[in-house]
Chains A and B, each alone.
Chain A
């Protein structure tokens, strides 16, 4: 297992000077699974976006180190994968075209074997040539998993991991969550009790803006 650490210190985010959350601190290293929980609107997705390096927090710092090398924020995309309700794939392309584009732009070795194996795992292989606009919402969710897992990310972020999935889909996701833990860090935002029990640590966002 390679050494990966994520150190989060005192992260706070405000929108229009209204505090969403503050003082979020935790450390994670390879093998850990961290859950983020909180009511709707408490900023789970925002926190995930910040940790992905896609949104600047109002205060606070966070450092990702892979093999003792500090990764600059603008290069996080090389080390992370994200599944989120806010993320969409290209409607006008088929499943395999989408994954092909992602694999090429990430310059993966042997893209076709990797793509085929994830498609197989998520039960999308027979739908691979269908355009994404004809996919059901569950199939789209599965395809998002394929897209996030292609490059075997060091950190996998899952925002609402179970949304739109049937029991079969959930069990595949569980297998991958386990695999991710063996390989690196898993961070997921959820309110599902089963998922929460799976985590080593739970970060509770106590909706500062709702209480006021």
Chain B
């Protein structure tokens, strides 16, 4: 087990913090480049929703003072950054007195649970299938079927989600159409709730797995080709070891390491891909929030939710990067 060198850790942390800062700044600058200012737009929307707003001029002035929009830009920017650190994204415009952080807090566990589950299954399944593609003892039928299944790779998960939803929820009626659990079930640690969550989560998870496992299968296949020719694998075979044992102990364990790097790199597209799947299935995670916010033109929520998704991605990539030397003793982050 290698230790993480301090210098590498510092460099990685620096990149993480810079990433968060850069995206936070982008998200702050963008609405300020757009025509009109956020408060007038907000009051405009309120009056659209509730008819005429009395004294809208005063409200605009009041809000401007309250949100500090009457102060110079650098101070606004600093205040914004300080608020971000305390996860304060302001108030939702569509459902006004609710703070954005509360809305996000309710959705985050759902996204997180689905994400971790779907990605773990994808990673395991993809690597297992990729290894089977090269293994000499794999039945011929499976070797033909795997590449066919890999045709789905790189199709966006929104599309696979739509097809799955149509086939399994509308035509076959096997799975529910919307939501993360059935209405009328009280959330908690009881059996009906857990079963309902599993039933509702299957299709969204499947949509992500179906279009992503091929990516890992491909990478694994490439690595297995390299490992297959190694002398120690030949020797293990010549010794007459059980082929399954050779496959696992000698081949997969050596081939899987670079896959972890690939995992870190694709995490970004995976997270945003899954957010879209949630919107297709009406799953009450971050994707649903973002979609609802887009429909309601609720900019504060869009901003906050996107920022959280960016943080999740950056954090996950960093964790994978840091654990890599722990998994592979050959990597020592040399040169640092």
Chains A and B come from one and the same complex: no
Q: Chain B: residues with CB nearer than 8 A to chain A?
A: none
